Amino acid sequence: MSAYTDLKALAGRARSGEFHAARAALWNSPMDRSAARAAAVLLLFGALDDVPAASSKPLASADLDLLLVERAATLTNHPGQVAFPGGGVDPGDASVLAAALREAEEETGLDPDGVEILGQLPEVPVPVSNFIVTPVLGWWTRQTAVDVVDYGESAQVFRVPVRDLLDPDNRVTATLTRNGQTYRGPAFTVNGVVVWGLTAGILTHVLDELGWSVPWDASREIPAPL
């Protein structure tokens, strides 16, 4: 099966309620949903561009990449973190799908007409920023150039080969200690940055559900970059 076929099948399982969100703790964070704001992020996969993967390991989906942004360090919510393109749902958005595309265009300059929306995954509560986030799966049918549109919002926009994300050498556990409690979560070290937190949690679960993940050493820990 191709990566595109796998992604379409995952979207279909989500529509039918067969996406196993209950296995990921972040999908079950306690939160007052009535007071939260809706948001959407775009998980945009596409055929690998002309920048090859750094990893030479023969892992699945070696010809595939994913679009990510590094948030500006001056932002109020999640400053400096690597994230999927996305943001809050505005009153003028027709749906969370439309919001994900609009935000991706505003952040990266991509042409939304070249994106095929495959479907959406279950909502993810994010108590720290009071958002309910809907991950939206997309496929880049007609790729266009991407770059930072507003440096007040993003520090960089980049495409990371999925092979690099899957490489066990690039998988670590990020730790964050606050108020005497230590948070541990999956993380990826790619493109000179660390992908951790909400983005890494969603990505890890999606890769697992796709059946693409390979074993990695979760005992390798690094401090979360703040």
Three-point CA angle 110, 113, 119, nearest 5°: 95
Task: Indicate the pTM of the whole model.
Answer: 0.94
pLDDT at res. 9: 96
pLDDT in tens, 28-86: 888 888 889 999 999 999 998 888 888 988 887 778 999 999 988 777 666 778 999 99
pLDDT at res. 1: 58
Which has the closest alpha carbon to 65: 169, 163, 185, 184? 163
Rounded distance, CA 14 to CA 19, Å?
A: 5
Rounded distance, CA 195 to CA 91, Å?
A: 30
pLDDT mean across residues, the chain: 92
> Angle of helix 3-15 relative to helix 197-210, nearest 10 degrees?
100
pLDDT at res. 72: 83
pLDDT in tens, 182-221: 889 999 999 999 999 999 999 999 999 999 999 999 999 9
Check if the beta carbon of residue 82 is closer than 8 Å to that of residue 224. Answer: no
Check if the beta carbon of residue 131 is closer than 8 Å to that of residue 96. Answer: no
Rounded distance, CA 81 to CA 69, Å?
A: 8
**What is the 3 state secondary structure string of the chain?**
CCHHHHHHHHHHHHHCCCCCHHHCHHHHCCCCHHHCEEEEEEEEEEECCCCCCCCCCCCCCCCEEEEEEEECCCCCCCCCCEECCEEECCCCCCCHHHHHHHHHHHHHCCCHHHEEEEEECCCEEECCCCEEEEEEEEEECCCCCCCCCCCCCEEEEEEEEHHHHHCHHHEEEEEEEECCEEEEEEEEEECCEEECHHHHHHHHHHHHHHCCCCCCCCCCEEECCC
Least confident of 151-155, 178-182, 191-195: 178-182
Rounded distance, CA 208 to CA 175, Å?
A: 21
Residue with tokens 């390979």: 214
pLDDT at res. 80: 77
pLDDT at res. 60: 73
pLDDT bin (cut points 50, 70, 90) of residue 128 is confident
Instruction: Give the pLDDT mean for 155-164.
Output: 95
Rounded distance, CA 187 to CA 43, Å?
A: 16
The residues that bridge with 181 in the sheet, in sequence order, are 178
